Structure 1
Amino acid sequence: MTYTIIDLFAGAGGLTTGFHLAGFQSLCAIEIDKKAIATYKYNYPSTKILQQDILQVNPSDLRLALGLTQEKLTVLVGGPPCQGFSRNIPASDRYFNDSRNQLYQTFLAFVQEFRPVYVVMENVPEILNAYKGIIKNEITEKLESFGYKVTSSILNAAYYGIPQTRSRAFFLASLNRKLDIPKPTHQGDIRSDYRATLSSKQLNLFESNLSPIVTVKDAIGDLPSLKDGQEYTHQNYPDSPQNLYQTIIRHESTKIVNHIARALTPIQKARVSALKEGEDARDLPPELAPKKHYSGAYGRLSWNKPARTMTRWLFHPGSGRFFHPEQNRTITIREAARLHSYPDTFHFLGTYTNMASQIGESVPPLLAKVIAQSILLDYH
């Protein structure tokens, strides 16, 4: 049996990749960003791709063009743009009728037309309580009016085997029975600051049957050393996988690509050279410390902790904890992809900043895979 998805607001293909790893076939992807869709097309050349504004796509025309009857599609997935909800936007700039808040309604229009057996919609955690829960309630009630059983929750990627503390909201809907939220598979201290430690009481809360969280070292410890501004051109792997995560992420990959370190400015070089593993702007000497900075800015990653959220700004050390734990540079595109759980077979196209955006704006593939597997279990 063939299990199929359509990916709306597809970006570079984080959701598609996770579902693909679980055995799904991608029939169609819609994305307005031509640079992101170039990456998608490179990795999924057989998928029908619409590089256009989704507001200009007629759901009925698309369903007919794909030859799908209602309830034939297995899953409709997507992450409508979320700037209007994001806490990264000042509260004074957030308002209910912001056009950036309305694209979830377009997503729902596609659900109504295609009537897939399952629906997966991803967004920032704030969508569940934005405007006193109005958005969450509207999405839930609309899906229920279409005949779906709906559940929603916030999932932290670190608890599902991804070396990153990214939290996102998911709406899961089914025409059959209400889906359970996937249970965590990993546990441990996910706080990225080296100053933070768990108390013995907190440690005792852990369950013995769960795997330990995946760390930065687990994810990128096998990748070759680079200097800032350098690209790894040999492509071969210098060593065998050192752990299960590396074995999974390297599956069927024969070479290292996108291992590119961005060149640093003189002040950025001076700052990273002054920091030890896990340290950040708070640890810089006065003459190097920025006057203002974000939490974790100019921070080195800690080897034995997961990374913080990979954002589209991961190329800029002043935007977060994006310095390598030991080497005097920011993380490479491949390292960021590893921390986001993209397999090494996935190639990114574009400039360094293009590729950083493609990673930071996507769903971690292994988190999408967990959701896809839960759908398969329910389907059977």
Structure 2
Amino acid sequence: MTAPHIPINAVDLFSGAGGLTHGLAKAGINVRVGVDVDPACEYPYTENNKAKFLLKSVGDIESRELASYYLPRSVRLLAGCAPCQTFSSYNQKASTDDDRWWLLRHFSRLAGELLPELVTMENVPGLLNHAVFDEFVGSLEASGYEVSKQIVDCQDYGVPQHRNRLVLLASRLGPISLLTPAQFNAKPTSVREAIGNGRVPALAAGSADAVDRLHRASRLSPLNLRRIKASKPGGTWRDWPDELVAECHKKESGKTYAGVYGRMTWDEAAPTMTTQFYGFGNGRFGHPSQDRAISLREGAILQGFPLNYQFVAPGAPVHMKTIGRLIGNAVPVTLGELIGRSMKAHVKEHRDDVLRVLTGGQLA
């Protein structure tokens, strides 16, 4: 006799353009709705995912509104990545005065009121150092959840970039953990495998592909064009002739900032995709062999989005800053799939308890 299928329904808080949702869906989880306050997220989220979109702040959401999206006789998952900029190591002015700091408390509130069987939260590792995270974990534990948390090197799971993320999994069914790279059947992926070997057409700085409007590269000033031509894959601005080096880097205070104005290396992973990855001077975002920064499409691919993922409606203008923000802020799709497959494995492990709950039993 075939074991009954146990569906998992999810709500994605702070959904962004849909990186986490898309990954969860790849793992076989039915994401019912995404919630985000940024209107630019709505088109890519709904166009590429079989889910509804709520343009609303999580702080204004009531649990009964989210409860209506879960289907009967399904395991409920509450997922999300609260805005991470305020906790990021890139933010030198992190402050509890930032309203985003407290959005995690609203996530906690909704989890405590809904009591879904599963909860997951992804964020930057720096969140571990803040009391608001300890409060979040403590609240889950007080509500009967088993909680696991770990720093994940996304490269270990096949994401073609150096990106460390904090992943929390919580379950009211029993102890839970992420799949290992071996269980996920992961293999390292290089920049070449992701965006090389003719996967995307060659492009000049300041131009866009005639077919794929997202495959467009920022303009370069004459000086920056000379700089990128003098740049070596994996090198730094220290490789340049002296006349190309910026005055700020010649000062003692600027000599240590070697991680800008660099090219990627074909056979290694890319650096962490930030919201400004499309700018040559914003990090090691120079294309390994073409004289330009990587395109919006290449950044999306390095974040795990499929080649046909649409971020802009037909005929609408492509704003580099807006789309760069959506891509850089996204949960890598592969990481979302890892979380989803880990949840599926967990539910399978606790099948008897789950079936008892879905047929009218109750968790303690």
**TM-score, reference length from structure 1:** 0.81
Query: How far apart are residue 97 of structure 1 and its match?
Result: 5.5
Instruction: Quote the residue 1:54 is aligned against.
Output: 58
The answer (yes or no) to whether the contact 1:8–1:30 under 8 Å persists in 2 is yes
Query: How far apart are residue 136 of structure 1 and its match?
Result: 3.2
Q: Work out the CA distance in 1 between the residues paired with 2:325 and 2:186.
A: 30
Task: State how many pairs are aligned.
Answer: 329
Q: Work out the CA distance in 1 between the residues paired with 2:232 and 2:325.
A: 27
Q: Work out the CA distance in 1 between the residues paired with 2:113 and 2:308.
A: 34
Instruction: Quote the residue 1:86 is aligned against.
Output: 88
Alignment of 1:1-380 (within 5 A): 1=5, 2-44=7-49, 46-64=50-68, 66=69, 72-90=74-92, 93-96=93-96, 98-130=98-130, 134-185=131-182, 213-221=188-196, 222=198, 223-233=200-210, 235=211, 258-290=214-246, 291-292=248-249, 294-349=257-312, 350-380=318-348
Q: Work out the CA distance in 1 between the residues paired with 2:17 and 2:144.
A: 31
**Change in 2 beyond 3 A, CA 1:19/1:257:** farther
Greater mean deviation of Cα atoms: 274-283 or 117-126: 274-283
The answer (yes or no) to whether the contact 2:13–2:80 under 8 Å persists in 1 is yes
Deviations 1:86-111 (A, max 9, x none): 22122xx3344643211101111121
Query: How far apart are residue 363 of structure 1 and its match?
Result: 0.8
Secondary structure of the residue aligned to 2:202 is coil
The answer (yes or no) to whether the contact 2:273–2:299 under 8 Å persists in 1 is yes
Seq. identity, %: 33
Query: How far apart are residue 344 of structure 1 and its match?
Result: 1.4
**TM-score, reference length from structure 2:** 0.85
Deviations 1:223-256 (A, max 9, x none): 21111122222x4xxxxxxxxxxxxxxxxxxxx5
The answer (yes or no) to whether the contact 1:333–1:356 under 8 Å persists in 2 is yes
The answer (yes or no) to whether the contact 1:341–1:366 under 8 Å persists in 2 is yes
Q: Work out the CA distance in 1 between the residues paired with 2:123 and 2:235.
A: 30
Give the letter aligned to residue 38 of structure 2.
D
Query: How far apart are residue 14 of structure 1 and its match?
Result: 0.8
Deviations 1:194-238 (A, max 9, x none): xxxxxxxxxxxxxxx9865211101111221111122222x4xxx
Give the letter aligned to residue 90 of structure 2.
N
Unaligned runs of at least 5 residues, structure 1 = 187-208, 236-255
Query: How far apart are residue 280 of structure 1 and its match?
Result: 2.3
**Change in 2 beyond 3 A, CA 1:273/1:67:** closer
The answer (yes or no) to whether the contact 2:10–2:70 under 8 Å persists in 1 is no
**Change in 2 beyond 3 A, CA 1:36/1:61:** closer
Secondary structure of the residue aligned to 1:154 is strand
Deviations 1:154-179 (A, max 9, x none): 10110000110111111110111111
Deviations 1:97-146 (A, max 9, x none): 6432111011111212222221110111011123xxx2332121100111
- Aligned Cα RMSD in Å? 2.1
